[in-house]
Chain A
């Protein structure tokens, strides 16, 4: 890798981890496979500080303003937003289905909590995805170790608190190994 290492600038507030924003959009009519998914992923920026985060975040469209079948991914630098990545292969994700109109606010709450280290689960968080779909939008938060129930419960509780969603909102945990075997994808 010859890419320059991203570092906080002078006077900026460093983050615990560097992160990358990714964007993907499903091409209508194309077969979904792991390789086409990978090809559709576009890295749209890496940041190491709060200020660099806003320089990226403020210049990309809010998820609620996107149309069609689009996803934003925010992952720690070095982790590709794919099940097969070493950081993800034993992991899973919390899935929250959102009524239309909530995506931008919920995504912002989640992203702020993630870069601000609000989850308090060590190195467990891998990244987050907001998936814009026709009927509803889907927020997911990925962690490294799907079988660690103490960690996944803690993530769920923090997620509930920071999203501030109605108490009847359904949250579902899914291991990536299950997603691989049933070939489900949003």
Chain B
């Protein structure tokens, strides 16, 4: 099936999301 892939730059963006606190 499809795998959920995240690139580094996307993870870095999520780091600053309020949900990630």
Which B residues are in CB contact (< 8 Å) with A14? 4
Residue of A at shortest CB range from B11?
A112
Interface residues of B in 1-21 (CB under 8 A from A): 3-8, 10-11, 14-15, 17, 19-21
Give A113 to B11 CA distance when docked, in angstroms: 10
Give A84 to B3 CA distance when docked, in angstroms: 28
Whether A58 lies near B4 (C-beta < 8 A) is: no
CB distance from A128 to the nearest CB of B (A): 15
The answer to whether A149 has its CB under 8 Å from any CB of chain B is: no
Whether A13 lies near B15 (C-beta < 8 A) is: no
Give A162 to B7 CA distance when docked, in angstroms: 11
A9-B6 contact, Cβ under 8 Å, with A50-B14, A54-B14, A112-B11: no
CB distance from B11 to the nearest CB of A (A): 5
Which A residues are in CB contact (< 8 Å) with B10? 116
Give A109 to B9 CA distance when docked, in angstroms: 11
Contact of A117 among B4, B17, B20 (CB under 8 A): B4
Whether A13 lies near B21 (C-beta < 8 A) is: no
Residue of B at shortest CB range from A10?
B19
A16-B4 contact, Cβ under 8 Å, with A51-B14, A54-B14: yes
Which B residues are in CB contact (< 8 Å) with A54? 14-15, 17, 20-21
Which B residues are in CB contact (< 8 Å) with A53? 20
Contact of A118 among B5, B17, B20 (CB under 8 A): B5
Residue of B at shortest CB range from A17?
B4
Residue of B at shortest CB range from A14?
B4
Whether A112 lies near B8 (C-beta < 8 A) is: yes
Contact of A15 among B4, B7, B17 (CB under 8 A): B4
Q: Which B residues lie at the A interface, using CB under 8 A?
A: 3-8, 10-11, 14-15, 17, 19-21
